[in-house]
A and B are shown apart, each in its own frame.
Chain A
Amino acid sequence: ETGVTQTPRHLVMGMTNKKSLKCEQHLGHNAMYWYKQSAKKPLELMFVYNFKEQTENNSVPSRFSPECPNSSHLFLHLHTLQPEDSALYLCASSLRGDGSYEQYFGPGTRLTVT
């Protein structure tokens, strides 16, 4: 266990559905991240939050909407997704979001869009 939990672990949704992914960290960290891992592609950063403020949006389509209500929780709201959005979505946290600290990852949510 890394101290970062993600729910659900698996999610199947249609293109017209709305769903949310949840991430929670119990490490006392102040930065949280969403990454996407697609088949045959390197892990790719989506969003960074540092002290609840979004500091990076890696040109992510608006059908992905992040929310960080506090330093321990991070959500990814999904709507009108496409089949190519099927991937493993990983959450991570670090003490601060300035590039100096080790990142700890959750187990991921396996998303399938039908």
Chain B
Amino acid sequence: KQEVTQIPAALSVPEGENLVLNCSFTDSAIYNLQWFRQDPGKGLTSLLLIQSSQREQTSGRLNASLDKSSGRSTLYIAASQPGDSATYLCAVSGGGSSNTGKLIFGQGTTLQVKP
């Protein structure tokens, strides 16, 4: 059974700092990994999708890496801003026996960027 873990659960940093969020998964037979952002009480915004054959994806100040063999992904946020404050969720597709598109989510990392 696929399980996804995110560390740390919460993070508070001063504005301008570079930071790394971690995600690990137990079954390396994934199709892809997605990073999402969720603002309080809102839906999810997709940030980056990494296919299982890829090592990293970049979008603006965000860079996500994937090491499938070790079951790990990191989300790097450069020059953090107060507007980056949100909960960041990691989710994997596949692994175990499912290929229906089912996403397995981690608990999330709640980020606070202080001005």
The residues of A with any CB-CB pair to B shorter than 8 Å are: 2, 4, 6, 31, 33, 35, 41-45, 48, 50, 55-56, 58, 88, 90, 92, 94, 96-108, 110
Contact = CB atoms under 8 A, between A and B. Distances in A.
Contact of A102 (B46, B99, B106, B108): B46
Interface of B: 4, 31-32, 34, 36, 41-46, 49, 51, 89, 91, 93-94, 98-108
B32 A104 contact: no
A42 B93 CA distance: 15
A88 B44 CA distance: 11
A56 B43 contact: no
Contact of B94 (A43, A92, A99, A106): A99
B111 to A, nearest CB: 17
Given A42-B107, A50-B100, A56-B100, A99 B31 contact: yes
> Which 8 A-B residue pairings sit nearest by Cβ, starting from the closest?
A99-B31, A97-B101, A105-B44, A43-B105, A107-B43, A99-B93, A56-B100, A102-B49
A105 to B, nearest CB: 4
